[in-house]
Amino acid sequence: MFGNDWNWIVAGLVSAALLVGLSLLIHFPFLVSAIIAALVFAGLVFVLAPRQLFEGVDLNSFSGSRVAFARELLAQAQPAADRLAAAAGTIANKDMKAKVKNLSDIAADVISRVEAKPDSAPSVRRFLTYYVPQAAEVAEGYATLANRRAPSQARLANVGAVITKLQDGFVHYADSLADTELGTLDVDLRLIQESLKEDIGR
């Protein structure tokens, strides 16, 4: 409830420090200091709580089954996307860090777009359930290999080549999602052109 343990821990540390500071350093009455610290604690727990899936998204226009399906996919993909982002921060090689960061950015973009339009989830199901977790595992593997005292350059090159290929796959799925969002645009354009030709002769 209200996020993971980190928001509780940080809120506790800040409110404890505030309590000590108010009561001992500024000489506020202890009861007043305790009330202020408790209010700060409660506020920080909510403020620091991680964002929940579909938070702030109006789901009334989507069917319950589609929303449930999208929620299930995103619940699997989000932890892997977080791991991918974290892995990017542990890679020293600038080129490889940039590639993993790009994968992370694409994954985050696809997740946010599926949140906004749950109906698009089926078109990126394989991306969310397979490619994102696999990319996270490969990126973590690269970071682990690179951090060895005598890393195998051949293995690093092999893993790096897979990460490079994953970029093409990620772009493919992101573009396919964009195509899905366009929906009947081509048909609509053709109908508009035909109507204009019929109404105004061109």
194 occurs within a structural domain: no
Answer yes or no: is 85 within a domain. yes
Residue pLDDT, tens place only, 37-76: 788 777 766 665 555 555 555 555 555 677 888 888 998 8
In the block, which residue shows the tokens 């009561």?
A: 23
Q: Are residues 28 and 79 in the same domain?
A: no
Residue 26: which residues within 8 A CB-CB, separation 6 or more?
none
Residue 52 lies in a domain: no
Report the Cα 34 to chain-centroid distance in Å.
37
Mention every residue, 6+ apart, whose C-beta is less than 8 A from residue 166: 103, 131, 134, 135, 138
Whether 1 shows a pLDDT value over 50: the answer reads no
Same domain, 146 and 94: yes
| Host domain of residue 100 | 64-188
Q: Which two tokens stand for residue 97?
A: 């860090």
**Same domain membership, residue 182 and residue 84:** yes
Top mean-pLDDT range of 22-26, 76-80, 189-193: 76-80
CA angle, corner 174, sides to 111 and 120, nearest 5? Answer: 60
- Whole-structure pTM value: 0.67
How many CB atoms sit inside 10 A of residue 47's CB?
10
What is the arithmetic mean of pLDDT over 12-24? 79
Asked if residue 28 and residue 102 are part of one domain, the reply reads no
Query: In this structure, is residue 197 part of a structural domain?
Result: no
**Same domain flag for 103 and 129:** yes
In angstroms, the CA 198 to CA 71 distance is 45
pLDDT given for residue 143 in this prediction: 95
95 and 120: one domain? yes
Q: Which residue bears the tokens 């109404």? A: 199
pLDDT, one tens digit per residue, over 121-155 is: 888 999 999 999 999 999 999 999 998 888 899 99
Question: What is the torsion angle, in degrees rounded to the nearest 10, for the CA atoms of residue 131, residue 133, residue 135 and residue 136?
Answer: 170
Q: What is the pLDDT of residue 69?
A: 87
In this structure, the number of other CB atoms found within 10 A of the CB of residue 79 comes to 12
Choose the weakest-confidence range: 19-23, 112-116, 144-148, 170-174: 19-23
Same structural domain for residues 149 and 124?
A: yes
Instruction: Say whether both 34 and 116 belong to one domain.
Output: no
Helix H or strand E encompassing 9: helix 5-20
Q: CA 174 from chain center: how many Å?
A: 14
Q: How many domains does the chain have?
A: 2
Residue whose tokens read 């996307």 = 81
